[in-house]
């Protein structure tokens, strides 16, 4: 059953409302503009599609259009940040932190500059634009950097809360956003606890044999799978891993001690992503079997989100099969 | 407001430059690795900056209204460390820790390691962008401090630099002055052989920048160029400072082989003897 403590969307299993995760980022920036005069926003010619255009209209003097120049954008943000500003850089994740990775490493992360990197168009969920614009390696290349905090929100509301949270904490953050509309899983009242892995679906019997750990919008597919599995008599739990770094090792170990196996779910390469982060930790504390749902050493392609997650094995059916594989 | 340079002050700055060079040789010999030619070539400019141009307080390195000095080509940091030690940011003794374990003096400068360092650098082409960010922040905060960014000629082969110049062409930031160390060398050889930069001045002017040229070893001319740059109130100024790599040590001058190596014991001794006597102009009591 859905965890009642989290006040999740009650209509989650009855055609829930769909909203783009990136809108949560844009709406949070509007609030931040009101609230904190030090917030500045930079983009590299993708203001509208990364949802910073409303901030730009309202606070033109605090909005910096860098043109198609992601390295320059990262460097300017670092300079602003060491001068007391809270700088958000907003572009597609394939370009930022893809194209400007070393600039981010040197001038933002190693330099400990207060810059928030918003990586948009994450995952094959980017859809029709094709693999060039579908960031499926961004978690891997960013989470390996020391001292960065990495959040991959599951829906509109979580994206908004994560963005607001990041502005309150000094230091570099990576925020991962998705382009297409995706189901709204949480509500305005759902608490956002940075650094926590949260139970979104609890087993009927309190004795789940398998834990499904999902990050981002695919959490919805995990919840659908859990519900259907329960109807088939298989009890699982579903956990939302919105914070990929630092990883909630305490909860992870507690869960691992209770179950036979774990299924990790993410719209990202299986190498280096959230599943890898979990495996790295459990390999030294509580080794157990893990099935990794994600891109299996392949790029995506053009298509709609529904067809893509089916073809690349990220949908509820794939999650159910992975659970059954671990039980067999 | 930067004061005009009078003869007595000029003499002091020349002496400081010589002392900076001596410290560079000593610290590089002690470190056993590092870059020689670039730092020696920039000693006169660093002397002018730290002892005449910059508005700063070595005892209060985080003073909010200080001028910012962004070093883009981080590998020449021995010249900055030497100037900073002489200015009183930290004890001269600490220069001997360069490139060693637990040192604040990293092989390439790291902002959070050493107070007074404004940016982390080493990977090339990134300084101007950061200086732009600082200049925008100063304007947003209505602060009057000035940002100086030192870059090398070789790093102008990085695309990031031209992204930054394009940005400056659009958003002229008159509170930023860029100084290019034009010494014509890089690791693999002479810049014009490796990847030509000329006509550099025309290229920069075509981006809408205010470009000045100066002899980087003529301290008075350099100070005058900075004064002229500071009087430009509409555009970002770029000063192309022509320098001699290895300047002050005859056997290192104009040789790209000295870009990335330190002197050995004999070479260091020879270099320091030359610097003590100002290339034979002064008879040393040790000779």
CB B22 within 8 A of CB B83: no
Is the CATH number of domain B7-276 3.40.50.970? yes
Any idea what the Cα angle at residue B127 is, between residues B121 and B132, rounded to 5°? 140
Cα–Cα distance between A218 and A313 in angstroms, integer?
11
What sign does the dihedral B269-B271-B275-B278 (CA atoms) show?
Answer: positive
Cα distances from A295 to residues A125, A279, A304, A310, in angstroms, run 12, 16, 16, 12
Count residue pairs from A and B with Cβ separation < 8 A: 104
Beta bridge partners of B180: B151, B240
Task: Return the CATH number of A191-327, one of 3.30.200.20, 1.20.1110.10, 3.40.50.920, 3.40.228.10.
Answer: 3.40.50.920
Residues 103-162 of B with CB under 8 A from A: 110-112, 118-123, 125-138, 140-141, 159-160
Determine which one of A70, A198, A266, A291 is catalytic: A70
Query: Phi and psi dihedrals of A183, rounded to 5?
Result: -60, 140
The domains of chain A are located at 18-183, 191-327
Partner-chain contact B130 A79, CB within 8 Å: yes
Query: Measured between CA atoms, how close is B107 to chain A, in angstroms?
Result: 14
* Sign of the torsion formed by the C-alpha atoms of A71, A73, A78 and A79: positive
The secondary structure of chain A, three-state, reads CECHHHCCCCCCCCCCCEEEHHHHHHHHHHHHHHHCCCEEEEECCCCCCCCCHHHHHHCHHHEEECCCCHHHHHHHHHHHHCCCCEEEEEEECCCCCCCCHHHHHHHHHHCCCCEEEEEECECHHHHHHCHHHCECCHHHHHHCCCCCEEECCCCHHHHHHHHHHHHHCCCCEEEECCCCEEECCCCCCCCCCCCCCEEEECCCCCCCCEEEEECHHHHHHHHHHHHHHHHCCCCEEEEECCEEECCCHHHHHHHHHHCCEEEEEEEEECCCCHHHHHHHHHHHHCCCEEEEEEECCCCCCCCCHHHHHHHCCCCHHHHHHHHHHHHC
Tens of pLDDT, residue by residue over A9-49, are 999 999 999 999 999 999 999 999 999 999 999 999 999 99
| pLDDT at residue B1, as a whole number | 83
| Closest in A62, A64, A106 to B123, CB measured | A106
What residues form DSSP beta bridges with A240?
Answer: A198, A214
Q: What are the tens digits of pLDDT across the range B122-148?
A: 999 999 999 999 999 999 999 999 999
Helix (H, G, I), strand (E, B) or coil at B201: helix
pLDDT tops 90 at residue A103: yes
Cβ atoms A218, A152 nearer than 8 A: no
Closest by Cβ to A72, choosing from B111, B135, B167: B167
In CATH, what number does A18-183 get? 3.40.50.970
Q: What is the pLDDT of residues A205-234, one digit of tens each?
A: 767 899 999 999 999 999 999 999 999 999
Helices and strands, number each (H, E), in chain B: 10, 7
* CB contact set of B60 (below 8 Å; sequence gap of 6+): none
- pLDDT for B278 equals 73
Residue B7: exposed, middle, or buried by beta-carbon count in 10 A (0-12, 13-18, 19+)? Answer: exposed
% pLDDT > 70, chain A: 100
**pLDDT > 90? residue B225:** yes
ipTM of predicted complex: 0.95
pTM value > 0.90: yes
Positive/negative CA dihedral, A173, A178, A182, A188: positive
Q: Does A111 touch chain B (CB under 8 A)?
A: yes
pLDDT tens digit sequence for B39-54: 999 999 999 999 999 9
Mean pLDDT of the B189-193 span: 95
Contacts 24+ apart (CB under 8 A), B87-90: B87/B50, B87/B51, B87/B56, B87/B58, B88/B58, B88/B59, B89/B58, B89/B61, B89/B114, B89/B115, B89/B116, B90/B114
A103 in Cβ contact with B160 (< 8 Å): yes
**What angle, rounded to 10 degrees, do the helices at B7-31 and B219-231 form?**
110
* Element at B18 (helix H, strand E): helix B7-31
Rounded Cα distance between B163 and B129, Å, is: 8
Answer whether A115 touches B (CB < 8 Å): no
| A70 annotated active-site | yes
Give buried/exposed letters for B168-204 (b at 16+ CB in 10 A, else e): beebbbbbbbbbbbbbbbbeeeebeeeeebeebbeeb
B27: closest CA of chain A, how far (Å): 25
Amino acid B282: pLDDT: 64
| pLDDT computed for residue B280 by the predictor | 66
Residue B137: which of A79, A107, A110 has the nearest Cβ? A79
Do the Cβ atoms of B125 and A40 come within 8 Å?
no
| Nearest-by-Cβ selection for A75 from B111, B133, B141 | B133
pLDDT of residue B287: 45
pLDDT at A207: 79
Asked if pLDDT for residue A292 goes beyond 80, the answer is: yes
Chain-wide mean pLDDT for chain B?
Answer: 95
pLDDT, tens digit (0-9, with 9 covering 90-100), for A137-152: 999 999 999 999 999 9
pLDDT of residue B283: 60
Domain boundaries, chain B: 7-276
Q: Which of A169, A178, A162 is nearest to A219 (CA)?
A: A178
Q: What is the pLDDT of chain A when averaged over all its residues?
A: 97
Q: What is the mean pLDDT of residues B217-241?
A: 97
3-state secondary structure at position B239: strand
Q: Which of B72, B112, B129, B148 to mutate to test the interface with A (most CBs of A within 10 A)?
A: B129
């Amino acid at each position: 059953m859905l965890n009642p403590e989290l006040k999740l969307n009650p209509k989650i299993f009855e055609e829930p409302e769909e909203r783009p995760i990136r809108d949560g980022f844009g709406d949070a920036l509007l609030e931040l503009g009101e609230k904190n005069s030090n917030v500045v926003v930079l983009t590299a010619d993708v203001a509208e599609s990364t949802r910073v255009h409303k901030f730009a209209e309202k606070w033109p003097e605090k909005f910096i259009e860098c043109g198609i120049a992601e390295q320059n954008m990262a460097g300017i943000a670092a300079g602003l940040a060491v001068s007391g500003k809270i700088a958000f850089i907003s572009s597609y994740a394939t370009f930022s932190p893809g194209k400007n990775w070393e600039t981010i490493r040197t001038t933002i992360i190693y330099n400990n500059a207060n810059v928030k990197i918003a990586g948009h168009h994450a995952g094959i969920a980017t859809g029709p634009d094709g693999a060039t614009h579908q960031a499926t390696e961004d978690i891997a290349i960013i989470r390996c950097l020391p001292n960065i905090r990495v959040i991959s929100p599951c829906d509109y509301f979580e994206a908004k809360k994560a963005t607001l949270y990041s502005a309150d904490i000094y230091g570099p953050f990576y925020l991962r956003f998705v382009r297409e509309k995706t189901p709204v899983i949480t509500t305005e009242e759902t608490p956002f606890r940075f650094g926590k892995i949260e139970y979104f679906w609890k087993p009927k019997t309190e004795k789940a044999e398998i834990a499904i750990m999902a990050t981002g919008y695919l959490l919805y597919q995990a919840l659908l799978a859990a519900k259907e599995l329960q109807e088939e008599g298989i009890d699982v739990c579903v956990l939302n891993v919105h914070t990929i770094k630092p990883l909630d090792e305490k909860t992870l170990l507690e869960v691992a001690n209770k179950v036979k196996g774990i299924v990790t779910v993410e719209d990202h390469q299986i190498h280096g992503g959230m599943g890898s982060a979990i495996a790295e930790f459990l390999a030294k504390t509580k080794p157990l079997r893990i099935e990794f749902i994600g891109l299996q050493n392949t790029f995506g392609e053009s298509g709609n989100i529904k067809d893509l997650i089916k073809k690349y094995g990220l949908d509820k059916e794939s999650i159910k099969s992975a659970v059954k594989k671990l039980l067999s | 407001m930067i004061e005009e340079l009078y003869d007595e002050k000029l003499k002091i700055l020349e002496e400081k430059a010589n002392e900076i060079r001596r410290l560079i040789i000593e610290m590089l010999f002690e470190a056993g690795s590092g870059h020689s030619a670039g730092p020696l070539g920039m000693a006169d400019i660093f002397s002018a900056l730290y002892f005449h141009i910059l508005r700063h307080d070595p005892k209060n390195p985080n003073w909010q209204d200080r001028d910012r000095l962004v070093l883009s080509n981080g590998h020449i940091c021995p010249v900055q460390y030497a100037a900073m030690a002489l200015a009183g940011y930290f004890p001269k003794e600490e220069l001997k820790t360069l490139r060693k374990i637990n040192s604040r003096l990293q092989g390439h400068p790291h902002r959070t390691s050493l107070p007074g360092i404004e940016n982390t650098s080493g990977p090339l082409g990134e300084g101007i962008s950061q200086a732009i960010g600082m200049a925008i922040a100063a304007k947003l905060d209505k602060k009057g401090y000035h940002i100086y960014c030192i870059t090398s000629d070789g790093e102008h082969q990085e695309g990031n630099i031209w992204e930054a110049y394009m940005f400056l062409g659009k958003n002229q930031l008159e509170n930023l002055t860029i100084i290019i160390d034009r010494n014509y060398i890089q690791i693999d050889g002479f810049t014009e052989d490796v990847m030509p930069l000329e006509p550099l001045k025309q290229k920069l002017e075509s981006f809408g920048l205010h470009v000045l040229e100066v002899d980087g070893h003529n301290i008075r001319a350099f100070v005058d160029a900075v004064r002229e740059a500071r009087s430009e109130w509409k555009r970002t100024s770029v000063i192309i400072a022509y320098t001699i790599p290895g300047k002050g040590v005859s056997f290192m001058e104009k040789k790209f082989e000295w870009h990335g190596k330190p002197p050995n014991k004999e070479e260091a001794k020879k270099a320091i003897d030359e610097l003590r006597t100002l290339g034979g102009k002064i008879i040393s009591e040790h000779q």
